[in-house]
Amino acid sequence: MPNSLSERNRRWDLLNKSMQENEVDALIFAANDYRGHKGALRYVADYNLLHRSGNAVMFKDEEPVVVLSGNLSGARKPDSGWISDYRCPGTIAAGLVDTLKRRKKFSRVGIVGLGQIMKVDEYLALTAAYPQVEFIDYSAQFELIRAVKSAAEIQGAQESAYILDQCFSRLLEIARPGTTEREIGAEMYKVGHRLGGEDPLFLTMYTETDSDQTNATFGPPRDRVLTAHDVHTFSFEIVGPKGYWTELSRMVTFAPPTEDTERMARAVTKGLAAAAREMCPGVSPSKVQRAVLEAIESEGATSSYWSGHALGLDVLEHPWIGLDVVEDGRQSEDTMLQAGYLLAVHPMVRDVSAQVTGYMADSFVIEESGSRKLSEHPTGLYRISKGEANVNEY
């Protein structure tokens, strides 16, 4: 199981090896309760941060210490028992400074999440207390460590994918013209929670034209009523019981779709199929993106410069599927896919002239022989008619 002691030891061994190779004496893992900012803490400590912020401090070849916000002193600790030392000081900044005192001599400390997660006051407290110590951003090195998932971690992702499959099956049962987004969202949350899902992110998307500009509007479910001739795109992301994210999105219609709608759905389906064929060990993310764009453009559509990303204990992990570095600027464009990577691919396509858009998402695991889709639902445009759902897989 992903939270077993053998999995803990595997991760700690990888972290210790990385510290040895990079001449780092300790690591600090910064986390907060934002969906994409707490996976590092769960990776090292099996602690799922549900509120506020927290950190873990790990000296080389020693058990980490978890430093949490003071109001989390009564929070539940995981049953797995990875960590014995939990601290809830008055301020996290003071707690981090005090925790580092367990070692009298250290000269180089890596911080996972320095650029985007650690609070400024915490960083300033560390540098003021230890002016002789070099604090470096260790986020990129950490991403390389956690990118390759173990068999137990992949099992956790498959469990998450199963939950999403059941959510979408329920959607196909209840989605009808006249149903509101909120009614569908309520059922998705219900099914997901009943099966052990956490942190659900359910979005609805549709094409919207504003001042002759066509965009795919998306957001949480609202009071908007589904109509017979609309194209409804439902996207669901969730964490399963073991903490691993997966994504699933499909386009759904009720009345017969227009030719342009069919073409957009075909473009997205082709893009996903191209990615699935291209994603193999040793292939660069940029090569995957080029294959996606070529497939989409064959249907007269365009897409953004990135079409997916790795995922795991965080919903966004490295590498990104794109032609250049995305968001934080530290991912190498030459990062090659490896067996054990988990990737979400989600091309968002648009035809400006026809004023139509399309979007779908699938999660994949990379194996030695290529990619394997985690969802059992076929990829394509679903039409619900007379109480039955049929899919055009193109």
| 198-242 pLDDT tens trace | 989 998 887 776 666 666 677 888 999 999 998 899 999 999 999
pLDDT > 90? residue 327: no
More confident call, 212 vs 365: 365
Contact 292, 274 (CB under 8 A): yes
- In the prediction, which pLDDT does 393 show? 87
The model's pTM:
0.92
- In the prediction, which pLDDT does 136 show? 97
Q: For 243-289, what is each residue's pLDDT tens digit?
A: 999 999 999 999 999 999 999 999 999 999 999 999 999 999 999 99
- In the prediction, which pLDDT does 329 show? 59
Q: How far apart are CA 86 and CA 219, in angstroms?
A: 37
pLDDT > 60? residue 53: yes
